[in-house]
Structure 1
Amino acid sequence: MADSAPYSLLIIDAAQVLTLTGGAPDQPLAGPDASGWTIIEHGYVACVADKIAAVGPMSELNRARIGPETRLLDATGRVVMPGLVECHTHLVFGGNRAHEFERKLRGETYLDILASGGGILSTVRATRAASEAELLASALQHLAGFRHYGITTLEAKSGYGLDRDTELRLVRVARAAGQQQAVRVVPTFLGAHVVPPEFKAAGPQAYVDFLLREVLSDLKGEAAFVDIFCEEGAFPLDVARYYLEQAHKMGFGLKIHAEQLHDLGGCEMAAALGATSVDHCDYLTPAAAARIARQTQGRTVAVLLPLVPLFLRQQQFAAGREFIDGGLPVALSTDFNPGSCPSKNLWLAVSVACLKMGLSPKEAVAAVTRNAASALGLAADCGSLEPGKRADILVLNVGSVAEIPYWLGENPVREVIIGGELG
């Protein structure tokens, strides 16, 4: 990027520019750094093509780089911040599970519904029956909704096929959806979501052996990460360890759904194997979180999903405050899916994380930008407003960072810029 090139887009007079800069470069923010990042009062952000060119106070703006083709965007009185990174969704699926909502209201638990053939298995049946065109149309509709909330990068997990052809189709659809609109999509393979009916008699070990033998070899270059649900009713700890070890040998990055409903030790196990993130963590103890932070030197991110216990009417929320104090980087996500979180509102997740997990507004914003990018291995590319990074930027209809979680459930987004393009 030439230092003298005219700006293609210039956002001016922002009340606050939330840079998310600070701490070790391109690493997640943990401990005091999670709230110690830099805010620029009365600032600007300048872009050249799809990259950020300059960020600073208005008093330091290089006006010589404003040319006749520069598009000016007035952000007077408003917050400017990085685009949101949604680091845990189940984007591609068939049907919905509205018919199970009343069962939840009557007191049936997540595992009760799963054991009766509902839950994930209900969505598996609908997804297997859906055509590729139907799945793609649904994914594109959901991505438009995510963009409305300011999401500029999104992870999309498979996991509702549980057979070779459907699982590969889900990854293929996620990639195609990412290519057909502006929001960047990062596919993750969650074939080990639960054991499918075809392997019920053979058991979890036989099923992961099948995935390793028949499926993962076809995912090279298609999905960066492999994930597994380590939980009662899904995959036990020893099988999850074996599967992740073998997937890592095949060159995949690692993730895990763990400590959602019980403390089985899945988060510590996956972190010891070098997992990029450990997700859910509602039953992860602060002591175990501190051990993970020390063991991984802050490289493994805990992805917390506050809307899931809210929707499932559970009392246990992840101890986010203690995790941050113990040095573990924290990201936030909706966990958008048809069963335990049919919501794309990441701003609501930010508010609930402050109310129920003890995060401050600045920590919560870090959790949906820079730390969420780290959970996808993308911190060098997005998640903060720094020269050279991708120009994914939001202009909000609020005047300060403190207002972001305060307006409960509202969408503060006024403008979404993805790759330097204003939609």
Structure 2
Amino acid sequence: MPYSLLVRHCGQLLSLAGGPTSQPLAGAAMRQWQVITDGYVACEQGRIVAVGPMAELDEGQVTPETQIVEAQGRVVMPGLVECHTHLVFGGNRAAEFQRKLQGESYLDILASGGGILSTVRATRAASDAQLLDNALHHLAGFRRYGITTLEAKTGYGLDAETELRLLQAARLAGAQQPVRVISTFLGAHVPGPEYGGRPAEYLEMLAAEVLPRLNPEEVPFVDIFCEQGAFSVAESRRYLAQAQTLGFGLKIHAEQLHDLGGCEMAAELGAISVDHCDYLTPAAAARIAALTSGRTVAVLLPLVPLFLRQEQYAPGRAFIDVGLPVAISTDFNPGSCPSKNLWLALSVACLKMGLTPYEALAAVTLNAAWAIGQQHECGSLEPGKRADILVLDVPTAEEIPYWLGENPVRTVIIGGEVQTD
């Protein structure tokens, strides 16, 4: 069958291939993946069928019907994978940003009815159509940054009805545009306002009234925020174990503000990822890597401490050195990271977490795909995977984190289709 799409004359083709196939990239493998000079990527019916140097291109498969994308010596790489976002919510907190800059603390703002409570009110008040429009707007922005697969968490309804509405909005948004959306249920973000002081009772409600109504094939993961003011390690363990018995994969927000042991607890249960990890120690990271044989991914979110003006960043360099796989995400949300710029997150991971450019690129592609169970579909340029491909306006991989905050994307290809907006 002739090629339907050919990306050719790639100056540096960052395939992300060449590492282990049974687990995420860890240790030295995060920076030793395959780079092809003067390469090509050939696709048929939305899938990659051949990758290699131009000297090995089968010209007989190139016909007048083949769509040609000329990379002209630029970097070509897999589409970005956004593995931690809170995609669907109502309103924003721009007014609170100004208050923070004037010196008010988060607790002051929360006490006045702001913070997450303001987003919960706006989300509950939004119509289904408004939630869908917001999600589509944000997905269009992500796509312009080269994100081709995205995880969408709930967590701003904090009651059964609204949390289910958020899942529905994410599902419809995924179906109405090309970026693939993977849903995670984060009803256990914090206790709903009606359950003040009763977090265990709130979790019991979610486990009894919401989780049984979800299909793990449509909503593959259940998440919880394990932190002071949210849910304890014991409460989180009990809830995640209940979700696991129902067939869900597990995730956790943990060690964002304190070292409570949530990451290790979730890893013991087989969580696919542990997220934030700003206060996770290298010793604990080494134990997680050993316990899970390198299958649990630490998802680091460098734009959160940046936006919150905090000093503590996850010790990503140490995590990699002890063999814990690392992914990078924005944590797009209205409170602690209103940014879709995963390229900026990549740069900040290099600057504040000690990653090298090649490690950071692995962290926003293949390891991010592992963090949401999509490693067989995306994250690298290999035959059989979905043809999610980026052409960048830079000649070398090292330039990607160097141009701080810039969007280097020239061309986005999703499922073999060149995006035109």
TM-score (norm 2): 0.98
- 8 Å CA contact retained: 1:115, 1:233: no
Q: 1:102 aligns with which of 98, 101, 114?
A: 98
- 8 Å CA contact retained: 1:171, 1:222: no
CA distance in structure 2 between the aligned counterparts of 1:288 and 1:103, rounded to whole angstroms: 36
Match of 1:219 in 2: 214
> Can you give the 5+ residue segments of structure 1 that lack an aligned partner in the other structure?
none
* TM-aligned CA deviation for residue 152 of structure 1: 0.1
CA distance in structure 2 between the aligned counterparts of 1:193 and 1:136, rounded to whole angstroms: 21
- 1:299 maps to 2:276: no
CA distance in structure 2 between the aligned counterparts of 1:389 and 1:161, rounded to whole angstroms: 35
SS at match of 2:85: coil
- 1:242 maps to 2:202: no
CA distance in structure 2 between the aligned counterparts of 1:114 and 1:236, rounded to whole angstroms: 20
* TM-aligned CA deviation for residue 63 of structure 1: 0.6
Could you report, residue by residue, the CA deviation over 1:273-325 in whole angstroms, capped at 9, with x for unpaired residues? 00000000000001100110000011000000000000000000000000000
- 1:144 maps to 2:147: no
User: CA 1:318/1:115 → structure 2, altered by over 3 Å: closer, same or farther?
Assistant: farther
* TM-aligned CA deviation for residue 137 of structure 1: 0.4
CA distance in structure 2 between the aligned counterparts of 1:277 and 1:111, rounded to whole angstroms: 29
- 1:51 maps to 2:23: no
- 1:325 maps to 2:321: yes
CA distance in structure 2 between the aligned counterparts of 1:40 and 1:116, rounded to whole angstroms: 56
Matched AA of 1:209: E
* TM-aligned CA deviation for residue 26 of structure 1: 4.9
Runs of 4+ off more than 3 Å: 106-117
Could you report, residue by residue, the CA deviation over 1:9-50 in whole angstroms, capped at 9, with x for unpaired residues? 001111000000122115210000000101001100000111
Deviates more, 1:16-25 or 1:88-97: 16-25
SS at match of 2:7: strand
Could you report, residue by residue, the CA deviation over 1:214-246 in whole angstroms, capped at 9, with x for unpaired residues? 001111143110000001111111101110011
Q: 2:383 aligns with which of 378, 384, 387?
A: 387
Could you report, residue by residue, the CA deviation over 1:121-180 in whole angstroms, capped at 9, with x for unpaired residues? 110010000000000001000000000000000000000001111000000100000000
Matched AA of 2:263: C
User: CA 1:366/1:109 → structure 2, altered by over 3 Å: closer, same or farther?
Assistant: farther
User: CA 1:282/1:175 → structure 2, altered by over 3 Å: closer, same or farther?
Assistant: same
User: CA 1:378/1:111 → structure 2, altered by over 3 Å: closer, same or farther?
Assistant: farther
SS at match of 2:241: helix
SS at match of 1:122: helix
CA RMSD of aligned residues (A): 1.0
Q: 1:348 aligns with which of 344, 348, 368?
A: 344
CA distance in structure 1 between the aligned counterparts of 2:358 and 2:208, rounded to whole angstroms: 45
CA distance in structure 1 between the aligned counterparts of 2:134 and 2:411, rounded to whole angstroms: 24
1:4-403 equivalent positions in 2, closer than 5 A: 5-114=1-110, 116-201=112-197, 203-220=198-215, 221-403=217-399
SS at match of 2:280: coil
Matched AA of 1:117: G
Matched AA of 1:366: A
* TM-aligned CA deviation for residue 106 of structure 1: 3.3
Matched AA of 2:79: G
CA distance in structure 2 between the aligned counterparts of 1:330 and 1:338, rounded to whole angstroms: 24
CA distance in structure 2 between the aligned counterparts of 1:51 and 1:113, rounded to whole angstroms: 49
CA distance in structure 2 between the aligned counterparts of 1:200 and 1:104, rounded to whole angstroms: 25
User: CA 1:26/1:140 → structure 2, altered by over 3 Å: closer, same or farther?
Assistant: farther
* TM-aligned CA deviation for residue 105 of structure 1: 1.8
User: CA 1:159/1:390 → structure 2, altered by over 3 Å: closer, same or farther?
Assistant: same
CA distance in structure 1 between the aligned counterparts of 2:3 and 2:312, rounded to whole angstroms: 48
SS at match of 1:10: strand
User: CA 1:82/1:219 → structure 2, altered by over 3 Å: closer, same or farther?
Assistant: same
SS at match of 1:215: helix
- 8 Å CA contact retained: 1:111, 1:233: no
Could you report, residue by residue, the CA deviation over 1:384-410 in whole angstroms, capped at 9, with x for unpaired residues? 000011100000000011000000000
User: CA 1:108/1:325 → structure 2, altered by over 3 Å: closer, same or farther?
Assistant: farther
Deviates more, 1:80-89 or 1:69-78: 69-78
TM-score (norm 1): 0.97
CA distance in structure 2 between the aligned counterparts of 1:159 and 1:412, rounded to whole angstroms: 31
- 1:421 maps to 2:417: yes
> Can you give the 5+ residue segments of structure 2 that lack an aligned partner in the other structure?
none
* TM-aligned CA deviation for residue 67 of structure 1: 1.1
Matched AA of 2:99: R
CA distance in structure 2 between the aligned counterparts of 1:109 and 1:245, rounded to whole angstroms: 35
CA distance in structure 2 between the aligned counterparts of 1:62 and 1:26, rounded to whole angstroms: 30
CA distance in structure 2 between the aligned counterparts of 1:26 and 1:406, rounded to whole angstroms: 32
